[in-house]
Structure 1
Amino acid sequence: MNRTHFGRALCAMVTPFAEDGALDLDAAQKLADRLITEGCEGLVLSGTTGESPATTDAEKADLVRAVRAAADGRAAVIAGIGTSDTRHTIALAAQAQQAGADGLLAVTPYYSRPPQDAVEAHFRDLADATELPVMLYDIPGRTGTRIEPDTMIRLAEHPHIVAVKDCAYDLLGTQRVMRETDLAYYTGCDEYVLALYALGGAGCVSTVANVAPATFRAIVDAYDEGRAKDAARLQQLTVPLTELMMNAGLPGTVTAKALLTDLGLPGGGPVRAPLRPADRDAVDGLRAAYDELVSAS
């Protein structure tokens, strides 16, 4: 695997749970197989969409092992290992490597809101401690702390830090880092897939791809084939579903699982508290937007 590139169309995969709340590894494997079959080139586990704050360390490792077996070399498996504690993050990185992950997703330490020198030290300590390629996860709306462009540029010098999942909503800052580094930039915002890709980004880590993987793969394929207008049309077709899944008051985890359940697809089922399931009205709206997307694309 090219350590600077995990593929183009990646999915921020939900973590399936059984009705009794236990981790459902069989459903995870079925979901992973479906996502790969329908175009995902990488699966990102135990991120925001994967309910990482609500799963144990052992569950995270079991999930990596199960999904790696289901992927069977057909897609990269990137393990989310970010925490608020540098020592814990490093321990999870070692566990993920032992479980067979191809790469690591490391979010900015949250809640404590460390200054930039501490953010940089955290990521350098992690990168020094692992042999796996690291994707930095910049999502200040959830962590409370940005990885500032200057910090990102310095971190890009580390040989193990190779990619970014970008949820900073700062296109100017993103372009500056892309211009000055070789970091592979993936948008974590589904509405920016084509925009960032056209600017030289590596692709996307999509939550909406849990339910519509083929469409997001088709966007990057169309652009790569020189069909920019087709790519733009496909991106615009995703807007109603993306808005309902990501910008209508419910977390993407909740909406993705609700829609997967309604469609009878693997990966649906309960979320873990404090998250709560979507109500019927929300599910009906999601289903209508999904059916519209499928029929139009």
Structure 2
Amino acid sequence: MITFSGVIPPVVTPLLAHDQLDTPAVDRIVQHLIDGKVSGIFTLGTTGEGPSLPYRVRYEMVERTCDAARGQVPVLVGVTDTSLAESLALAEHARSSGAAAIVAAAPFYFDASQQALQDWFSRLADESPLPLMLYNMPSCVGTTLSIDLVAALADHPNVAGIKDSGGDLRYFRQLCVEFRKPGRFSVFMGPEELLADAVNFGADGGVCGGANLLPLVYTDLYAAAVRSDSLEIPRLHSIIHDLFASVYRDENGRMKLIPGLKHAMAQAGLCGPVTAPPLQGFFD
């Protein structure tokens, strides 16, 4: 099974309208990320607004991202959905487009027990043509993947690892201690400001949204954390702190992460600022 490490940005989905992909911008962004030495690209995640996009746009984004990457880095595809059948259909499309793996958070409409979620992920892993990366995203889906659930899935032959965006460092450290298996099961940090801490705990890497704009900052931070560079880590952290203050917050100090990121990328000539509903633009 393919293994993952390093910085794998959750790429934004550039849009001309809420239902129209900006295909040339996909090419620009992917090349920008590859030039920034990323280790992979994660499309249709939270930063990519995956669940808000029409299925037609999701499929087109997968195809264009894989074409633009041209095998230079692996592409991971978010298949989070309330329908298992739709998740599997997108997984098959990801395979045919040349992606390396799929990523899935828990289905997010009906309240489901941990056992029901285990069954859901097991079936997805059983039937997916690509390896599955679990995605713990409680703020968006309303449930945390329990340590027991991860334990039950960690040895599945088609489960490649987990991305944790819960922000609970004790939980994350437990993942690293109990389940990280180099060459077999990868553990990735979601919140980018915790990347260096995560590597110190033994994480394989991070899924850092800010790398869409400043990929070298995050790939350099990962490398500095791997070598425990006590001078370089705080310098790069200070750049990320400034990014949070100037890009992720609007003029009133409200957090508007994805609209702010797209606005900054528009200023850099990478894509336009259009977001998919229900997200609003940076100045709305």
Query: What does residue 188 of structure 1 align with?
Result: 190
Q: CA deviation at 1:246?
A: 4.9
The 5 Å alignment of 1:43-122 reads 43-122=41-120
**C-alpha contact 1:12 1:205 (8 A) present in aligned 2:** yes
**C-alpha contact 2:91 2:129 (8 A) present in aligned 1:** no
Q: 1:10 aligns with which of 8, 11, 14?
A: 8
**C-alpha contact 2:131 2:160 (8 A) present in aligned 1:** yes
3-state SS, counterpart of residue 9 of structure 2: strand
Q: CA deviation at 1:20?
A: 7.6
Following superposition, which runs of at least 4 residues in structure 1 exceed 6 angstroms of deviation? none
Q: 2:207 aligns with which of 205, 210, 228?
A: 205
Q: CA deviation at 1:12?
A: 0.7
Per-residue deviation, residues 14-65 of structure 1 (Å, max 9, x unmatched):
1011158511111111111111111222111011111112222232222122
Q: 2:254 aligns with which of 238, 246, 249?
A: 249
Inter-partner Cα distance in structure 2 for 1:201 and 1:37: 24
Q: 2:265 aligns with which of 260, 264, 283?
A: 260
Amino acid at match of 1:169: G
3-state SS, counterpart of residue 75 of structure 2: strand
**C-alpha contact 2:20 2:57 (8 A) present in aligned 1:** no
Amino acid at match of 1:32: V
Q: Quickly say closer, same or farther: Cα 1:134–1:219, change in 2 above 3 A.
A: same
3-state SS, counterpart of residue 18 of structure 1: strand
Query: What does residue 216 of structure 1 align with?
Result: 218
**C-alpha contact 2:105 2:134 (8 A) present in aligned 1:** yes
Q: CA deviation at 1:137?
A: 0.8
Q: Which runs of 5+ in 1 are unaligned?
A: 281-297
Structure 1, 112-121 or 19-28: larger mean CA deviation: 19-28
3-state SS, counterpart of residue 236 of structure 2: helix
Q: CA deviation at 1:141?
A: 0.9
Inter-partner Cα distance in structure 2 for 1:201 and 1:27: 31
**C-alpha contact 1:194 1:220 (8 A) present in aligned 2:** yes
Q: Quickly say closer, same or farther: Cα 1:171–1:26, change in 2 above 3 A.
A: same
3-state SS, counterpart of residue 240 of structure 1: helix
**C-alpha contact 2:136 2:145 (8 A) present in aligned 1:** yes
Query: What does residue 233 of structure 2 align with?
Result: 231
Amino acid at match of 2:266: T
Q: CA deviation at 1:252?
A: 2.3
**C-alpha contact 1:64 1:100 (8 A) present in aligned 2:** no
Amino acid at match of 1:249: R
Inter-partner Cα distance in structure 1 for 2:150 and 2:246: 31
Between the two proteins, the alignment pairs up a number of residues equal to 277
**C-alpha contact 2:42 2:78 (8 A) present in aligned 1:** yes
Q: Which runs of 5+ in 2 are unaligned?
A: none
TM-score with structure 1 length normalisation? 0.87
Query: What does residue 291 of structure 1 align with?
Result: none
- The sequence identity of aligned pairs, in percent, is 26
Amino acid at match of 1:91: A
Inter-partner Cα distance in structure 1 for 2:166 and 2:272: 28
1:167 aligns with 2:165: yes
Query: What does residue 20 of structure 2 align with?
Result: 22
- CA RMSD between the two structures: 1.9
Inter-partner Cα distance in structure 1 for 2:225 and 2:62: 31
Inter-partner Cα distance in structure 2 for 1:251 and 1:90: 31
Q: CA deviation at 1:177?
A: 2.4
Per-residue deviation, residues 87-123 of structure 1 (Å, max 9, x unmatched):
2212221221122211111011112131100111111
TM-score with structure 2 length normalisation? 0.91
Q: CA deviation at 1:232?
A: 3.3
Inter-partner Cα distance in structure 1 for 2:248 and 2:150: 26
Query: What does residue 124 of structure 1 align with?
Result: 122
